[in-house]
Chain A
Amino acid sequence: EAGVTQSPTHLIKTRGQQATLRCSPISGHTSVYWYQQALGLGLQFLLWYDEGEERNRGNFPPRFSGRQFPNYSSELNVNALELEDSALYLCASSPYRKTSTDTQYFGPGTRLTVL
């Protein structure tokens, strides 16, 4: 069974530009989560999508947004890039069944560098 996939592996942008990151969940998983792992800050929850809807978001500004497509894949968009947006962006998926026991499985990540 294929795991969570993300593209691109690396992305280099300049300040003020927009970045688009993509994620395909494990087959059968309907929930997609986005996390940011910046140096020294640890993994921080960004967004959660399920069945095409944004279900929750972490403490990030609105320029971080995304969507989930009918096939459950997802996009993360970061507008007006700032230097501190440089980080590893991780996507995770889970078979959301409205229980607390859903385990999240992570993709390999996209390394975003903002110059």
Chain B
Amino acid sequence: QKEVEQNSGPLSVPEGAIASLNCTYSDRVSQSFFWYRQYSGKSPELIMSIYSNGDKEDGRFTAQLNKASQYVSLLIRDSQPSDSATYLCAVKEGGGADGLTFGKGTHLIIQP
């Protein structure tokens, strides 16, 4: 049974600070890792994908992957009130032979 764990929050961060979101997964064969942002009542929107150990940066977002520790994180620099949302971590096995396994998400609140 694959599991993806996230702290449900809420995680409260002052505007302009760095928000750090964490995710652990149980299945060692997981190969693809995704962060989605979901505003209340809306569908998930892809933020970042990462497949190799290390850091991947895209604008204010940095995804970090450590397969040995089965850990993936998302850093949001210069947090804005518009970043307030639920952030979903998702994993997938190699070969595309499965749907995504999601964590329950971390509710992030950016305080103006």
- Chain A positions near chain B (C-beta within 8 angstroms): 31, 33, 35, 41-48, 55-56, 58, 88, 90, 94, 96-109
Once the chains bind, are A101 and B98 in contact (CB under 8 Å)? Answer: no
* Chain A min CB distance to B49 (Å): 6
Number of residue pairs across A and B with beta carbons under 8 Å? 68
Once the chains bind, are A103 and B49 in contact (CB under 8 Å)? Answer: yes
Once the chains bind, are A42 and B98 in contact (CB under 8 Å)? Answer: no
Q: Which residues of B contact A55 (CB under 8 A)?
A: 97
Whether, in the assembled complex, B44 has its beta carbon less than 8 Å from a beta carbon of chain A, the answer is yes
CA distance A96 to B46 in the complex (A): 17
Once the chains bind, are B96 and A106 in contact (CB under 8 Å)? Answer: no
Main secondary structure of the interface of A (DSSP, over half): strand
Once the chains bind, are B44 and A45 in contact (CB under 8 Å)? Answer: no
Once the chains bind, are B51 and A98 in contact (CB under 8 Å)? Answer: no
Q: Total interface residues on B, using CB and 8 Å?
A: 27
CA distance A33 to B34 in the complex (A): 16
CA distance A45 to B88 in the complex (A): 14
CA distance A105 to B90 in the complex (A): 13
A42: nearest chain-B partner, CB-CB: B104
B93: nearest chain-A partner, CB-CB: A100
CA distance A101 to B94 in the complex (A): 8
CA distance A103 to B48 in the complex (A): 10
* Chain B min CB distance to A40 (Å): 8
Instruction: List the 10 closest pairs (A to B, CB-CB), nearest first.
Output: A45-B99, A42-B104, A100-B94, A43-B102, A100-B31, A106-B43, A100-B32, A106-B44, A109-B43, A102-B96
Cβ contacts A to B, 20 pairs, < 8 Å:
A33-B99, A33-B100, A42-B88, A42-B102, A42-B104, A46-B99, A56-B98, A88-B43, A90-B43, A96-B96, A97-B96, A100-B51, A102-B96, A103-B34, A103-B49, A104-B46, A104-B100, A106-B36, A106-B44, A107-B43
